[in-house]
Amino acid sequence: MENLEGMRDSFWTHKKVLLTGHTGFKGAWMSLCLSKMGANVTGIALAPEGNPNLFQLLSLDVKNITADIRQPEAVKKAVRETEPDIIIHMAAQALVRRSYRMPVETFSTNVMGTAHLLEAVKELAQPVTVLVVTSDKVYRNAESGNAFREDDALGGDDPYSASKAAAEMVVHSWRASFPDAQSCIASARAGNVIGGGDFSEDRLIPDIYRSLVSGKELVLRYPQAVRPWQHVLDTLFGYLTYIKALGAEGVPLALNFGPAKKEVVTVENVLRGFEQALGQRVPHKIEAPTMPEKATLLLDTSLSEKTIKWKNRLAMDETVKWTADWYAGFHAGKNARQLCEKQFEEYCARIT
């Protein structure tokens, strides 16, 4: 259990990592982190969405396989040809509101995509560590206001949450039904990740950025909704620390990743923090939501702190400032990769 937080060590050098969903916001950041640490990264995902998108802005030297994880033969081929030491499964339909419009696609991507990947892993001759990234929304949320622990009941009302809870059941089933003493399959639960380079639809930070650029009013649906906000680097380095720890005695096969318990932050708090960081007001209006959303979602991360010695390094005000600084720099014409690399280096300095 030594040196779990020292990411700039030899652990990652020349490791063969298969990363699904590498063209998304978190996936692009993960590709950058792994590449900077010397891993040999192969990514499998659909083509990146939108223009701009972070994956294309970064222009990373990773092997890119354009394929749909709902296609089992494409997944098997990628796994077989990569012969990975580590698989990080981040490919997903990750938008709650889109899941209402496209429930079948959401379930097929998040549930069957996970099953296809784990089935492909079964056919590998060598051991592999697999981290399946699910969500903070996998828990059955009765709006108690309590922070969810890893042993709380899984569930979900909206198609996204339900599909991610189902993906957790797939992981459990594969472990129980097809045990392999050498390979290890675990799941990581985090959500409401913010940081520079997210241009997705229906997410608070990209919507704030688009409002500032266009001059149009930002639409807030739930200004008092509470979420476990965290910076993308806190989240990803939590995952990487977990991967290094997997297999050690006492390390659980599911962990929450999120902010400190004392940080209870609303949508409006994030908006105000962004305005303060930029010194600029964001024009906005409140509209009644057309789709139901939970008012409160909090994670208890004490198990990750206890078992793998991980906790987030950025307080909420820093998380918002780093995010705002990235978008301000990007809007001013600075190179996106340089902005990400600068924050990567600053973050590494905090944990080594």
* 50-107 residue pLDDT tens: 999 999 999 998 999 999 999 999 999 999 999 999 999 999 999 999 999 999 999 9
Sequence ranges of the domains in the chain: 10-351
Query: What's the confidence (pLDDT) of residue 125?
Result: 87
**Cβ neighbours for 180, distance < 8 A, ≥ 6 positions apart:** 122, 127
Query: What's the confidence (pLDDT) of residue 4?
Result: 39
pLDDT of residue 123 exceeding 70: yes
Would you call the peptide bond into 228 cis, given omega within 30 degrees of 0 as the criterion? no
Query: What's the confidence (pLDDT) of residue 304?
Result: 97
Q: pLDDT by residue (tens digit) across 108-121? A: 999 999 999 999 99
**Cβ neighbours for 47, distance < 8 A, ≥ 6 positions apart:** 23, 66
Q: Which two tokens stand for residue 12?
A: 């990652």
pLDDT of residue 43 exceeding 80: yes
Res. 2 pLDDT band, cuts 50 70 90:
very low
Q: What's the chain's average pLDDT? A: 94
Q: For residue 286, what is the enclosing H or E element?
A: strand 284-286
**Cβ neighbours for 178, distance < 8 A, ≥ 6 positions apart:** 122
Please measure the distance between the N-terminal and C-terminal CA atoms of the chain and give it in whole angstroms.
15
**Cβ neighbours for 253, distance < 8 A, ≥ 6 positions apart:** 175, 184, 185, 186, 187, 246
**Topology of domain 10-351, CATH:** Rossmann fold (3.40.50)
Residue with tokens 């990947």: 117
Query: What's the confidence (pLDDT) of residue 94?
Result: 94
Question: 335 burial class (0-12, 13-18, 19+ CB within 10 angstroms)?
Answer: middle
Query: What's the confidence (pLDDT) of residue 180?
Result: 75
Q: What is the CA radius of gyration of the chain?
A: 19
Query: What's the confidence (pLDDT) of residue 218?
Result: 96
Res. 266 pLDDT band, cuts 50 70 90:
very high
Q: Which two tokens stand for residue 87?
A: 């698989």
Of the candidates 234, 254, 243, the residue with the CA atom closest to the CA atom of residue 87:
243
Res. 313 pLDDT band, cuts 50 70 90:
very high
Distance CA 166, CA 147 (A): 21
Query: What's the confidence (pLDDT) of residue 8?
Result: 55
Amino acid at 144: S
Across 14-30, average pLDDT: 98
pLDDT of residue 3 exceeding 70: no
pLDDT of residue 305 exceeding 70: yes
Distance CA 15, CA 303 (A): 27
Of the candidates 18, 11, 4, 6, the residue with the CA atom closest to the CA atom of residue 250:
4
Of the candidates 130, 59, 125, 55, the residue with the CA atom closest to the CA atom of residue 90:
130
Distance CA 257, CA 324 (A): 22
Q: pLDDT by residue (tens digit) across 161-219? A: 999 999 999 999 999 999 876 789 999 999 899 999 999 998 999 999 999 999 999 99
Query: What's the confidence (pLDDT) of residue 95?
Result: 93
Query: What's the confidence (pLDDT) of residue 6?
Result: 46
Q: Which residues pair with 88 in a beta bridge?
A: 19, 131
